[in-house]
């Protein structure tokens, strides 16, 4: 049995854990990193990276099949297995950045074992005990598998297994109409599968309903069956023949099943009680400084009990580096954290939705909006579906919703504005190259000022006075 003493022990080598380890070791701290599964965590191996790679393959097939701009479309004959080869080649290309070899090269001690607390200041990982001044729990989350009758007796997939499937599903049934479910629905439909999505409530129910409606309408137009208010109550069948029965007695038959109903945080193997760390089903209980009830233990990313986004975990890493290395106060915030669903069209959000803004700020909210159909680049490229909607309070954006082409890219400017408490004038004063989709953000910002300038009697009076009496 070996004992290691270190400054920081990081449990979990996903986005948050890797960011903490790399930052801390390069600034002079001694770091031990524990990972009992795959380096890179869920995002690299089962989540963000493979899903976007599969979506890209589906997009290519769809783009090839459509006739547009005088160019005939044709049957792309997508090769599902080859698309999966693309997925794994993307993972392999990115993997060295997250590899054990790279982090050991930086000076991190990497132990490929799961860690569990044995005291308030010690963690056991295999045959090694790690004593540390600070611990960072960065264990992420896993697919939540609901207790549906019969599910444990039939073959099914989650995001952890679907990317290894090489046989194209004839008919994929997806339980869950959230971001994962909708992304996988469109990717598989465009690669030649029949797809049915069963959602117990509203599909994309956490998003702005106007924006979600555009995405749902597009997916249905592509031939995806989306059934809302359909809670799965029983599942039966075998490989290649799965039947899902819903609470209202309806049945849906398919060849394969994907369960995509949410995430469960990874806290069950940590023995947090022995460390005096409080937690619940949402994750470790932390304050704004991301410290747990044991002040030497931090939690970042999904396991921190809040939003579940890879980029949030990376942001959290930056927050806790300040107090751990420099004894400086630092607190996390969420109002500037964006997220996106990478369907086509994409849907992105930062800050408050329209409904949330009106509930919080009442009549003081101004909704500034711009349509892609009025954007010259969108017209030229046939990308005219969608809008930008910005919620403004006292001249500052408090939230933004974008549905349309490259929404995940375009949302960044509103995250920047909210993060730095900029006024709408900062975006309105921006000069975007012409013609670009980015001009739609400037148009939305300008829409905030339109009634103040063009519908103002005072402005018109002032202009009239200058024109009559001002110097020529």
DSSP of 156-225: -B-TTTGGG--SPPSEEEEE--SHHHHHHHHHHHHTT-EEEEEESS-TTTTS-HHHHHHHHHHHHHTT-E
pLDDT tier for residue 459 given thresholds of 50, 70 and 90:
low
Q: Angle 446-450-455 (CA atoms, 0-180°, nearest 5)?
A: 175
What percent of the chain has a predicted confidence (pLDDT) above 90? 93
Residue 131 scores a pLDDT above 70: yes
pLDDT tens by residue, 141-166:
999 999 999 999 999 999 999 999 99
Q: pLDDT value at position 458? A: 65
Q: How many residues does the chain have?
A: 472
- C-alpha dihedral (453, 455, 457, 462), degrees to nearest 10: 30
Residue 454 scores a pLDDT above 90: no
Average pLDDT over every residue of 244-258: 97
Residue 462 scores a pLDDT above 70: no
Residue 466 scores a pLDDT above 80: no
What percent of the chain has a predicted confidence (pLDDT) above 70? 97
Average pLDDT over every residue of 336-342: 98
In the numeric block, the tokens 């490929």 are attached to 112
In this prediction the pTM is 0.94
pLDDT tens by residue, 51-77:
999 999 999 999 999 888 999 999 899
240: helix, strand or coil:
coil
Helix (H) or strand (E) holding 131: strand 128-137
Q: Which domains does the chain have, with CATH numbers?
A: 2-39+99-142+264-326 (3.50.50.60), 151-261 (3.50.50.60), 338-453 (3.30.390.30)
pLDDT tier for residue 387 given thresholds of 50, 70 and 90:
very high
Rounded Cα–Cα distance for residues 401 and 393 (Å): 15
Q: pLDDT value at position 469? A: 75
374: helix, strand or coil:
helix
pLDDT tens by residue, 119-130:
999 999 999 999
Average pLDDT over every residue of 324-328: 96
Minimum mean pLDDT range among 1-5, 233-237, 438-442, 456-460: 456-460
Which of 387, 448, 458, 443 has its CA nearest to residue 423? Answer: 448
- The pLDDT mean for the chain works out to 95
Q: pLDDT value at position 1? A: 79
Residue 465 scores a pLDDT above 90: no
Contacts of 37 (CB under 8 A, 6+ apart): 114
Q: pLDDT value at position 312? A: 96
pLDDT tens by residue, 259-303:
999 999 999 999 999 999 999 999 999 999 999 999 999 999 999
């Amino acid at each position: 049995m070996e004992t290691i003493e270190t400054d920081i022990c990081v449990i979990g080598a996903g986005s948050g854990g890797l960011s903490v380890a790399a930052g801390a070791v390069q600034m002079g701290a001694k770091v031990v990193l524990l990972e009992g599964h795959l380096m890179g965590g869920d995002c690299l191996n089962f989540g963000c990276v493979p899903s976007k790679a599969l979506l890209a393959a589906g997009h290519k097939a769809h783009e090839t099949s459509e006739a547009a701009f005088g160019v005939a479309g044709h049957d792309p004959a997508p090769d599902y297995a080859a698309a999966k080869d693309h997925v794994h080649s993307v993972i392999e290309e990115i993997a060295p950045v997250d590899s054990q070899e790279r982090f050991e090269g930086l000076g991190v001690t990497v132990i490929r074992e799961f860690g569990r607390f044995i005291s308030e200041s010690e963690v056991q990982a295999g045959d090694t005990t790690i004593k540390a001044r600070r611990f960072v729990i960065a264990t992420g989350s896993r697919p939540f598998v609901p207790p549906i009758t019969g599910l444990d007796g039939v073959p099914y997939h989650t995001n952890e297994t679907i990317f290894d499937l090489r046989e194209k599903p004839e008919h994929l049934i997806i339980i869950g109409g959230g971001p994962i479910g909708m992304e996988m629905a469109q990717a598989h439909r465009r690669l030649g599968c029949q797809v049915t999505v069963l959602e117990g409530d509203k599909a994309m129910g956490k998003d702005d309903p106007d924006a979600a409606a555009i995405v749902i309408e597009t997916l249905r137009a592509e031939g995806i069956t989306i059934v809302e208010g359909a809670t799965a109550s029983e599942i039966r069948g075998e490989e290649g023949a799965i039947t899902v029965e819903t609470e209202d007695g309806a049945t849906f038959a398919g060849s394969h099943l994907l369960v995509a109903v949410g995430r469960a945080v990874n806290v069950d193997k940590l023995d947090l009680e022995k460390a005096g760390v409080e937690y619940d089903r949402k994750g470790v209980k932390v304050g704004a400084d991301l410290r747990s009830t044991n002040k030497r233990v931090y939690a970042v990313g999904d396991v921190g009990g809040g939003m579940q986004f890879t980029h949030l975990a990376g942001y959290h890493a930056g927050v806790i580096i300040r107090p751990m290395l420099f004894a400086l106060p630092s607190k996390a915030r969420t109002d500037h954290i964006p997220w996106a669903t990478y369907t086509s069209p994409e849907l992105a959000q930062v800050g408050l939705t329209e409904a949330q803004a009106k509930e919080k700020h009442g009549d003081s909210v101004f909704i500034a909006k711009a349509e892609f159909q009025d954007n010259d680049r969108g017209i030229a490229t046939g990308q005219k579906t969608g809008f930008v909607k910005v919620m403004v309070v006292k001249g500052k954006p408090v939230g933004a919703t974008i549905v349309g082409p490259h929404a995940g890219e375009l949302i960044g400017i509103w995250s920047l504005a909210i993060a730095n408490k900029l006024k709408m004038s900062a975006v309105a004063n921006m000069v975007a190259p012409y013609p670009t989709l980015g001009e739609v953000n400037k148009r939305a910002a300008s829409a905030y000022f339109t009634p103040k300038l063009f519908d103002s009697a005072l402005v018109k009076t002032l202009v009239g006075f200058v024109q009559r009496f001002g110097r020529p």
